[in-house]
Amino acid sequence: MRRAGATSGFSLVEVALALGIVAFALVAIVGLMSISMKSGKDSMDDTMLSAMTGAAITGLRAEHFVDATHVTGAPGVLPGTAATSSTAATVLPIEYFDDSGTLLSSASNALYQCTVTLQPDTAAAGAPDANGNQTVNMVRVSLAFAWPIAAAGNLPNVRIVTSSIARY
């Protein structure tokens, strides 16, 4: 039975406590949303880098082995031949990609830039010939991706991917 004159409802303390719990939960959810958005963006970047890495490595593998490393030898000497003794790394011209991972011919409209470095792997080279030169059988490829390309040259995101190209 209800007492005469009593009203039903929530007290001010109960309402304040409920609002505090709801506010705490909303702050936690908003905090998780920013982490989730960053994680989603990082995932998109990783997917894009994977596609661009595949395109760059496939392009290098499609070239004749000697052509892919021709700039590492002495003038007029092609690596991959017995006349090669150079172990110096070679930095190829910078490649540019747009926001969909398509290779571009210039930096205009580019979001990503990729610096390709080729390093002959002398550990996988053939035995030296009479002149001390070795046949290069494997090249280590380092792809340094940086983005976004800004006019001031500030590239806050850099990832380096390595792979190898072998003579077959």
pLDDT digits 0-9 by tens, 13-66:
999 999 999 999 999 999 999 899 999 999 998 999 999 999 888 888 877 665
Cβ–Cβ < 8 Å for 85, 104:
no
How many C-beta neighbours within 10 Å does residue 105 have? Answer: 8
**DSSP H helical ranges for the chain:** 12-62, 65-68
* Residue 68 burial (C-beta neighbours within 10 Å; 0-12, 13-18, 19+): buried
Q: What is the pTM of this model?
A: 0.67
Q: Looking at the predicted structure, is the pLDDT value of residue 140 above 90? A: no
Q: Looking at the predicted structure, is the pLDDT value of residue 10 above 50? A: yes
Cβ–Cβ < 8 Å for 10, 19:
no
Work out the average pLDDT over 103-132.
81
Q: What is the pLDDT of residue 168?
A: 65
